[in-house]
């Protein structure tokens, strides 16, 4: 049930771009993106609430394809500060149940 993220890890040089994908086997109604730096707590980046919605946060943006049950995070002209592990998060609801669960994570390292 846990959303699957790809790639699992990526190494970039400063200024390069990257795309992180989050795919779910179940319907997605909203997607959140978080970044966790080593030894720290995850920090919220953005939420996408509607299918097809796109949002931006500095040079980090995301899209949400409800039909494909996917979301993608785009990191443009990466900076050293972008290094960390990125997680997508989503609500999973069912009869009498609710869960807020996270994807498997993508480790991103930006080199000078």
Name the residues that contact another protein, by CB under 8 A.
Answer: 1-2, 30, 32, 34, 40-44, 47, 87, 89, 91, 97-105
Q: How far is the CB of 18 from another protein (least distance, A)?
A: 18
**Nearer residue to another protein within complex by CB, 13 or 40:** 40
Q: How many other β-carbons are positioned within 10 Å of the β-carbon of residue 106?
A: 22
Structure tokens at 31: 């997607």
47 contacts 30 by C-beta, under 8 angstroms: yes
Q: How far is the CB of 14 from another protein (least distance, A)?
A: 26
Q: Spell out the residues 6+ positions from residue 42 whose beta carbon is closer than 8 angstroms to its own.
A: 34, 35, 36, 87
**Nearer residue to another protein within complex by CB, 65 or 107:** 107
**Nearer residue to another protein within complex by CB, 5 or 78:** 5
């Amino acid at each position: 049930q846990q959303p699957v993220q790809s790639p699992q890890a990526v190494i970039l040089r400063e200024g390069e771009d990257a795309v992180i994908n989050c795919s779910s086997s179940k319907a997605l109604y909203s997607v959140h993106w978080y970044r966790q730096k080593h030894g720290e707590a995850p920090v919220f980046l953005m939420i996408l609430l509607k299918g097809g919605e796109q949002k931006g946060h500095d040079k980090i943006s995301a899209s949400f394809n409800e039909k494909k049950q996917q979301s993608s995070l785009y990191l443009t002209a990466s900076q050293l500060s972008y290094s960390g592990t990125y997680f997508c998060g989503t609500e999973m609801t069912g009869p009498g149940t609710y869960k807020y669960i996270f994807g498997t994570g993508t480790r991103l390292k930006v080199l000078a």
